[in-house]
Each structure stands twice: as structure tokens, then as C-alpha cells.
Amino acid sequence: MTTRLRIGLIIGALLLIGGIGLVFWLRSRGLESARNSLEQAQQQVEAVKETCKEGDSACLNTVVTDAAEEFKSSAACKELAGEAADNCVWTVARSSNDEAVCAEIVNSEWSVRCHDGILLSKAMSSKDPSVCSRITSVPQKDQCLAAIDPITAQNCSSRGKSVEECAELQSYETAIASGDYSACAQFSGERKDSCIDVTAESDPDADGLSGADEARYGTSNQKPDTDGDGFTDGDEVAGGFNPNGPGKL
């Protein structure tokens, strides 16, 4: 074995030992910090709970939860039981913005709601769709993705939507982009309402008629002078003339 190789092995071993030591040191610091937080919370609880009347569980719940939240110590919540303990842990998780704490909640439904609620908040503030993927509840995960990374005609198929759904979405986006109010009739429900809201007052050809007016008079929203008589559709309607042919309205 060459001298250079021996030196390399020694340096590697020292780095490995140092790394392991650093991990244990950081872990011990974390445990020490958690113990200190718990002790501080417990001291505050002992100092304040004397103000609660004997048997006043509501007062005790408030005292413990306030102390646990202030010192971010979910361990302090063990002073309580049942829903009160779960509420206390949920409060700590929310105030510390740490979804991992939610795992300490005994009620499984509450634990999921706590976990998903914190992740949703993180995703919305960071605008990071990858955070949405860690949400447990499928409806809430979809809500998260729709808000941060909405489904479009371009990514529709890759998001697991059917050919029919993607085709309708393409038609919807085309109607919105062109301001075509009359195209909204092909949709239903919220999509139809949304299309109408966006296009009703639009005037893509700048002829003075809104999308709703264009549909009413049967004129084109892409031609400012639908009948080609030299007057814009809006001017003809304002003058009482038919914008889609000869004669008056």
C-alpha cells in the first residue's frame, strides 16, 4: 500500500468519524432544546394553573395549550387527555408550522386534517406544487394543485384527464382567449358561468359592442363591421340601425 493511499484512507476515516460525531452532536442539541422547551412550558403551567379553580378543566386546557404553543412543546400537551390533548398538539403544530407534529394527534382524522392543512399553507406561500403531492387527502391535494399549478389544455392529458375533458378545456380556453361570448353555450355548470363572466363584457374587435351584445345582435366579435357597410357595429346599434344587414333595428 502506497503512502498516498494510506494518507487518503486515514483522511477518509477521520472525515467519517467527524461526520458521525456531528450528527450525534446536532441530535443531542435538538433533544436538549426540546427538553428545555418542555421544562419551560411545564414551569409556566405550574405557575399559572393555580389560578384555575379546582375541577375547572376548561381553564387547565387553556393554560396548558397556551404554554405549549408559546414554547412550541407538544410534549407539554401530555398534561391533558382526549380531545383537549389533540387540540393542544394541533395548536403547537400550526404555530410552529410543522406538519410532523400532527402525527402525535391520537384522532386519526384530525391528524390528517392537521397535516394536510399545514402542507396546504406551505404550498400556497411557496407556490411549490411538489408540496401539494405530500398532502394525504386527494380532494385537498387537487385543490392545492389547481390553485398553484392549474390544469390547462397543454398539461391536461399528463394530469390524467380524459380526451373529452381535455377537448372541452381546449374549447373553453379558446373561447376565453377570443372573448367569444356565444361559445359559452356549449359548456355547463361552473365552466359556463365562468365563460360568461369573462366574455360578457369583452370587446375583442373594439367595435363598441360587448360579447353579450354581439351574441344578441348576431354580429361577429372578430369583425368591427360585420355587414361591411362602412360603419362599426357599435355605431350602427347606437344609431338604431341593424349592424348585421340593411335596415333599422
Distance CA 218, CA 104 (A): 64
| Distance, CA of 112 to CA of 204 (rounded, Å) | 47
What pTM does this model have? 0.54
**Nearest one of 153, 154, 133 to 144, comparing CA atoms:** 133
For every residue of 104-137, DSSP letters joined together read G-SSHHHHHHHHHHHHHHHHHHHT-HHHHTT-S-
Tens of pLDDT, residues 124-148 = 999 998 999 999 999 898 889 888 8
What number of residues does the chain have?
249
Confidence of residue 59 (pLDDT cuts 50, 70, 90): confident
pLDDT tens column, 146-185: 888 888 999 999 888 899 999 999 999 999 888 888 889 8
